[in-house]
């Protein structure tokens, strides 16, 4: 069975939310792992942390 092919990520084609996800992964020191092994390589704790920080940033942006 063929898996997904790793395509190079084009940052200019990402949505605002996807950009935020990559920024947070970088802040947490997980970007290298994501770029090499994909999002599936992250633990549920790591993905939960990213999701929580995304929610926090969205709420802060709405307040402004």
**2 contacts 23 by C-beta, under 8 angstroms:** no
Q: What is the pLDDT of residue 1?
A: 45
pTM of the full predicted structure?
0.79
Distance CA 39, CA 61 (A): 25
- Nearest CA among 25, 24, 50 for reference residue 36: 25
pLDDT value of residue 3 = 53
At 6, the pLDDT band (50, 70, 90 cuts) reads low
Sign of CA dihedral 19, 26, 8, 43: negative
The tens digit of pLDDT for each residue in 15-58 reads 999 999 999 999 999 999 999 999 999 999 999 999 999 999 99
Give the ranges where the chain is alpha helix by DSSP (H).
Answer: 16-27, 31-37, 44-63
């Amino acid at each position: 069975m063929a898996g997904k092919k790793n395509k190079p990520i084009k940052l200019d084609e990402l949505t605002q939310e996807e950009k935020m996800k990559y920024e947070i992964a970088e802040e947490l020191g997980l970007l290298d792992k994501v770029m090499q092994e994909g999002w599936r390589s992250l633990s549920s704790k790591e993905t939960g942390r990213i999701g929580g920080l995304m929610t926090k940033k969205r709420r802060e942006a709405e307040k402004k």
